[in-house]
Amino acid sequence: MGQFEDRIILSDIRQAQQIGGLADENIRIIEKATGARLVARGQDILLSGSQPAVKSARAILEYLIELSLKKDLTPADLQYALTLGGSKQENDKIAECLGEVIHTTHRGKQIRAKTMG
């Protein structure tokens, strides 16, 4: 099977830092889980490998990008994204639900859902 390449361009450096994680730790975790090779350069993430591996890595990254627009990412968000592995529509729906504020305390702290279940 041949090499397949793709590129994701992030909106800004802050988002790139969130997606990549500390010392690109998240990138390495996604590489290990999908088998795709990911290279982060500034606001670009280059994906290469077999087509299924690149497609899987792209779905995970798109979920994380969508979620990062709504809240700061945590290591648990990455692990949750890896277990989902669903279609783009499913991931968009989940990201929307996880980004919503479900309660605001009397002190103004926003409470958000951490999982779908």
Q: Do β-strands 4-9 and 44-49 pair in parallel, antiparallel, or remain unpaired?
A: antiparallel
The number of C-alpha atoms within 13 Å of 46 and in the hemisphere containing its C-beta is: 7
Q: How far is CA 50 from the centre of its chain?
A: 20
Encode pLDDT of 29-40 as tens digits.
999 998 999 999
Is 15 within a domain?
A: yes
Q: What pLDDT is recorded for position 109?
A: 85
Per DSSP, the three-state class of 107 is: coil
- Within a domain: 70: yes
Domain presence at residue 73:
yes
Predicted TM-score (pTM) above 0.75: no
Q: Where do the H-state alpha helices sit in 1-117?
A: 13-20, 25-34, 51-68, 75-84, 88-99
Query: How many domains does one find in the chain?
Result: 1
Domain at 84, CATH number:
3.30.1370.10
Q: Is residue 117 part of a domain?
A: no
Domain hosting residue 68, numbered range: 4-112
Inside any domain, residue 59: yes
Per-residue pLDDT, averaged over 106-114, amounts to 79
What is the structure's pLDDT at 48?
95
39 lies in some domain = yes
46-102 pLDDT, tens digit each: 999 999 999 989 989 988 998 888 888 888 888 888 887 655 555 566 666 666 777
